[in-house]
Amino acid sequence: MTRKDLSPVDLETAAPATGTMSRRRLVAGAGLAGLAGALFVDRRVFAAVDDPAQTDERPNVPTDADSAVLDLVIGFELAVSELYRRKLEAGTGSDALADAVGVMAENHQAYAQAIAGATGLSAGEANPSLVAALRNGFEGSDEEFFAAAHEVEQAAVSTHTDALGNYESNEAILVTASILIAEARHATVLADLLGVDDLDVLFGNEQGPLSLTGGDS
């Protein structure tokens, strides 16, 4: 059953793992700390309504509560797209990498546009706080970029998954599922670019959801 109480507030992202990739995680760690504060929505908007998932009357179009979260998600997706474009402008080591980065940049923009289409919101502006928090990793060396981008994709998967459990409308669930599963594939490619062989990393996700319950936007 769906909880109707307030969800616990968690401003922290997942604790950095020890061992595998720990050095790489440092690259993006600072950026993700900023990311946690940059995504802000009060989850009480979800708690204010009865759980619609238990009925057959789930609305098709996003509710106000869904749209409030999806509006932030649009800014997040556009920010990630912009970060990938900055990497492209900074240069990549190979055409193959440029192709992959270009596709990921386009994909994240498409995610923002799809959400905008579903909600009727504008897909105009990337979240500037996110871009500022993460740009160093994305504009650094290829290895720094791989680590930063991998962390962002993993955080995106966790954040979407967390939000999906609270959405009230079919459209919000549908579009979010189709986005986050694709982002998991992005993360897998980036892990391979990092040279990761550890199956726990390739198949897992140590990044927790970015906080949607507090912080400054």
30 is a site residue for another protein (CB under 8 A)? no
Structure tokens at 176: 């979010």
Residue 50 within binding range of another protein, rule CB under 8 A: no
Distance (Å, rounded) from C-alpha 78 to C-alpha 100?
17
Residue with Cβ nearer another protein (6 or 132): 6
- 49 in contact with another protein (CB under 8 A): no
The backbone torsions φ and ψ at residue 83, rounded to the nearest 5 degrees and listed phi first, read -60, -40
Burial of 5 (0-12, 13-18, 19+ CB in 10 A): exposed
| The binder of another protein chosen from 11, 48, 103, 132 (CB under 8 A) | 103
Asked if 43 contacts 213 with a C-beta cutoff of 8 angstroms, the reply is: yes
x/- contact string, 163-192, with another protein (CB under 8 A)? -xx----x--xx--xxxxxx-xxxxxx--x
CA pair distance 186, 60, nearest whole angstrom: 28
Q: Which residues bind another protein (CB under 8 A)?
A: 1-2, 51, 53-56, 58, 94, 96-97, 99-100, 102-104, 106-107, 110-111, 114, 157, 161, 164-165, 170, 173-174, 177-182, 184-189, 192, 199, 202-203, 205
